[in-house]
Structure 1
Amino acid sequence: MEIRRYIVGVDGSLPSRAAIRWAIGHARQHDTEVVLVHVADDEWGAAGTDLIDEVDSGARRLLEDEVGYTRSLHGAAGPRAELRSGSPMTVLASLGDTETMLVVGTHKTGFHYGRAFGSRSLQLANLAVGPVAIVPDTESHLRRGVVVGVDDSPAGSAALDLAADLACDHHCELIAVRSSGPSPRGADRRDAEPERLSQYDDEARGLLTAAVERVRRSQPGITIRSRVVRRPPGTALNDIARGAEVLVVGDSRREEALPGVLGSVAYDVLLNVTSPTIVVHAPPVTSAVAQPEGEAHVVR
């Protein structure tokens, strides 16, 4: 997966600045464009023209401040900045595509299982069709390694490819994780017979072996570790990635990206995020076009 642009949603908060730092650090790897976007919430639309003008003026000042902050980061070149209005996460999602990484910060930096409170980052991951990075406001310079959740879905394959690329770019270890345990909303496999548990473990190891072989063909120089765990996948991934540079997960097991539909594992990970986390959606499905019999053709 090639990322040609990073769009950072900014609002002047500490997590927002953590998102800026993260995007700048990753964009430098390939001299990729970074765009700062502030979305003025259009809920102010019914408040009168004077207040709307005041909100717009404040939004412009905020965006100018964030551009200045970005320029102060180790001599970073001035990014392009855009001021938009509307529902913030809906507008940001509309700006993304399969080659654009949407980046937002989050205050959430720990485990809160059982508390289904709202999350704008969760809303963004739900609405987007391209990759979304959720960056907590925590120190990142001591983090090491890339963790990826492995499954056999299109989104899982795309997540594995991106994770391998990131591990290569950052010269760090790739940790591939597969759970043979219960899913967040599925049957609890921990109550299964020992023989059945061993079968689940073997299935998970087989899937991991195939994934590691695939990565070695595309990125032969990186170090790869694989882990089979029996805990629910969201819990295990957040725990293992607590000290990682980034966690990468696929959005769901569906064949294509469907805005508004997020799989249970990605949902659970984002509710309890512990590290910078990238949600990767399934690549678009292209329909084959019938060709006249006997004629050669190229599929692009």
Structure 2
Amino acid sequence: MEIRRYIVGVDGSVPARAAIRWALAGARERGVGVTLVYVADDEWGAVGSLLIDEVDQDAQKRLADEVDYARSLRPEAPIHGEVRFGSPMAELASFSDAGTMVVVGTHKTGFHYGRAFGSRSLQLANLATGPVAIIPEAASRMRRGVIVGVDDTPAGAAAVELAADLACDHHCELMTVRSSESHSPFDVDHDDERRDWQLRRDDEARGFLASAVALARKRQPGIVIRSRVVRRPAGAALNELARSAELLVIGDSRRAKAQLGSLGAVAYDVLLNLSSPTIVVHAAPTEAESGAEQPETEGESHVIG
């Protein structure tokens, strides 16, 4: 997966600043540009033209402040800004494609695991067609390594390839993870039978991991790769392992093909209980899907160079 640009949703908050810093670092590694996008909610359209003008001026000022902040970090980088009006996550998703990394910050973390906070990042991940990065405001520089969740979908394969590229870029280890957790069949009553069933599930998981490792090595032959089978729910295990990692990469869905708005249970669990910078990867569209006419966005836009 070749990332050709970074789009960052900004609003002047601390998490948005964390997203800017993360995107600038990634863009520097790839030699690509960064566009900061401030979305003024279109609900303002119901309050009259005078207030709309005031909102526009405020949005332009806030965006200019964020562009200035980004340029203070990387004066030499190609950094641009754009104001849009509409639903914030829908407008950000309208930038999304296979070569665009859409980045947002979040103050939500999984320190209270199991208490569903709800997250606008879920909405963005559902609407996007390309990779989405969600960056916690307190991402530690002490983190090390890239973790990828492994499944047998096209999105899962795309996640492994991107994770291998990122491990190479960051000069760090890649860990592939697969859960063997599953309910025993109804006809398994005895402990020995349950143990045999679990061992078969473990072997099946190792097979998936072997395929993922082969794919990652083909993509990036020089990286160090470890594999791990876990017997816990995949979302919980990935978030726990990712607490000390610099990045977690997951596929968007357990479905067999790309489908808008089809985040699977694992992706929902990970995003609701986020513990690290996380990228959600979508399946590449088929030729028929990529040739289809894309819907136009309703929001207006203004660009800052």
TM over 0.5: yes
- Per-residue CA deviation, residues 259-289 of structure 1 (Å, 9 max, x unaligned), is 222111001000001100000001102259x
- 2:283 aligns with 282
The sequence identity of aligned pairs, in percent, is 66
Q: How does 1:23-62 map to 2 (within 5 A)?
A: 23-62=23-62
Assess if the C-alpha contact under 8 Å between 2:153 and 2:257 holds in 1. no
Assess if the C-alpha contact under 8 Å between 1:127 and 1:259 holds in 2. yes
Shift, 1:232, TM fit? 0.3
Shift, 1:137, TM fit? 0.4
Assess if the C-alpha contact under 8 Å between 2:160 and 2:215 holds in 1. no
- Per-residue CA deviation, residues 112-135 of structure 1 (Å, 9 max, x unaligned), is 444333311111001101100000
- 1:143 aligns with 143
Distance 1:188 1:48 in 2: 61
Residues 51/114 of structure 1: CA separation in 2 closer, same or farther (3 Å cut) = same
Measured on the aligned residues, the alpha-carbon RMSD in Å equals 1.9
- 1:181 aligns with 181
- Per-residue CA deviation, residues 176-228 of structure 1 (Å, 9 max, x unaligned), is 0000014xxxx478x98111010100100111112112222221110001000
- Comparing 156-165 with 115-124, which one deviates more in the overlay? 115-124
- 1:163 aligns with 163
Secondary structure of 1:29 counterpart = helix
- 1:71 aligns with 71
Shift, 1:77, TM fit? 2.6
The amino acid that maps onto 1:31 is G
The amino acid that maps onto 2:106 is T
Secondary structure of 2:51 counterpart = helix
- 2:234 aligns with 233
Secondary structure of 1:257 counterpart = coil
Assess if the C-alpha contact under 8 Å between 1:246 and 1:275 holds in 2. yes
Residues 92/74 of structure 1: CA separation in 2 closer, same or farther (3 Å cut) = closer
- 2:217 aligns with 216
Distance 2:94 2:78 in 1: 24
The amino acid that maps onto 1:116 is A
- Per-residue CA deviation, residues 68-106 of structure 1 (Å, 9 max, x unaligned), is 000111435351111000000001101110110100000
- 1:265 aligns with 266
Secondary structure of 1:228 counterpart = strand
- Comparing 88-97 with 103-112, which one deviates more in the overlay? 103-112
Q: How does 1:81-100 map to 2 (within 5 A)?
A: 81-100=81-100
Secondary structure of 2:29 counterpart = coil
Secondary structure of 1:126 counterpart = helix
Distance 1:242 1:26 in 2: 20
Residues 99/74 of structure 1: CA separation in 2 closer, same or farther (3 Å cut) = closer
Assess if the C-alpha contact under 8 Å between 1:255 and 1:282 holds in 2. no
Secondary structure of 1:243 counterpart = coil
- 2:293 aligns with none
Residues 115/139 of structure 1: CA separation in 2 closer, same or farther (3 Å cut) = closer
- Comparing 134-143 with 235-244, which one deviates more in the overlay? 134-143
Secondary structure of 2:94 counterpart = helix
The amino acid that maps onto 2:237 is A
Distance 2:242 2:184 in 1: 23
- Comparing 242-251 with 208-217, which one deviates more in the overlay? 208-217
Distance 2:164 2:17 in 1: 26
The amino acid that maps onto 1:9 is G
Q: TM-score normalised to the size of structure 1?
A: 0.90
Assess if the C-alpha contact under 8 Å between 1:181 and 1:188 holds in 2. no
Matched residue pairs, number?
284
Shift, 1:110, TM fit? 2.1
Distance 1:143 1:113 in 2: 20
- 1:254 aligns with 255
- Determine which structure has greater relative contact order: mean sequence separation of CA pairs < 8 Å that are 6+ residues apart, divided by chain length: 2
Gaps of 5+ in 2: 186-190, 290-305
Q: TM-score normalised to the size of structure 2?
A: 0.89
Shift, 1:18, TM fit? 0.2
Shift, 1:253, TM fit? 2.0
Matched, 1:242 2:243: yes
